[in-house]
Chains A and B, each alone.
Chain A
Amino acid sequence: GQNIDQPTEMTATEGAIVQINCTYQTSGFNGLFWYQQHAGEAPTFLSYNVLDGLEEKGRFSSFLSRSKGYSYLLLKELQMKDSASYLCAVMDSNYQLIWGAGTKLIIKP
């Protein structure tokens, strides 16, 4: 079966750095997406990786290793507004998105 694993919840301090991991087992791979979802709101797109390596977008970076079936989202200089759930999703061989259950990130002052 297809599976996406992420930690259920993480806590970090304002101003610090946090890494949210995602491991996947899917039938085929056509890219990995990270989304941010604030409570009661819609998911919003953060990043897309299809090749191995690191993609940087301001305070957020996303890394992919296809051989290991592994990705992480790195958030730097954490702000209170970063408190949200972070969803990892993999596009499989049928171009369907398989979603992880999400990681709830709690930022403490």
Chain B
Amino acid sequence: DAEITQSPRHKITETGRQVTLACHQTWNHNNMFWYRQDLGHGLRLIHYSYGVQDTNKGEVSDGYSVSRSNTEDLPLTLESAASSQTSVYFCASSEGQGETDTQYFGPGTRLTVL
């Protein structure tokens, strides 16, 4: 069955370290997204991609970067982790537009920055 996976599921790191969160989907979807979810906030878009070599900044992109070298993967990198980046991170993918733009989510990565 097609799926979307994230790794690691839990990560503790120190301020200033570089961290990369992996996202892998086997849906063969063109669109991939990274969100963060914090208490009291809706999901907030960090970066997104509409295809290989395409990346775009979302609402809260400062301090994060992504690259899309193939259809399946969109790794998220925190260049220099800050305590404000402690959050739950979700990766999602979608096929197209309209109802086919339904986004399917990975299980999430809980990141703690000390």
Contact = CB atoms under 8 A, between A and B. Distances in A.
Interface of A: 4, 30-31, 33, 41-45, 48, 50, 87, 89, 91, 95-102
Contact of B43 (A44, A45, A99): A99
A40 to B, nearest CB: 8
B42 A101 contact: yes
A100 B42 contact: yes
A41 B97 CA distance: 25
A95 B106 contact: no
Contact of B41 (A44, A45, A101): A101
Contact of A87 (B40, B43, B97, B106): B43
Contacts of B44: 99
A55 B103 CA distance: 19
A100 B104 CA distance: 17
Contact of A96 (B45, B99, B102): B45
A59 to B, nearest CB: 20
B90 interface: yes
24 contacts: A30-B98, A31-B99, A33-B102, A33-B103, A41-B108, A42-B105, A42-B107, A43-B105, A45-B102, A45-B103, A45-B104, A50-B99, A87-B42, A89-B42, A91-B101, A95-B97, A95-B101, A96-B45, A96-B58, A97-B43, A97-B45, A99-B42, A101-B40, A101-B41
Given A41-B107, A44-B105, 12 more contacts: A30-B97, A30-B98, A31-B98, A33-B103, A41-B108, A42-B105, A42-B107, A42-B108, A43-B90, A95-B97, A97-B43, A101-B40
Nearest to B31: A95
Contact of B101 (A31, A98, A101): A31
Residue among B41, B90, B103, B104 with the most chain A CB within 10 A?
A: B103
Interface in B28-80: 40-45, 58
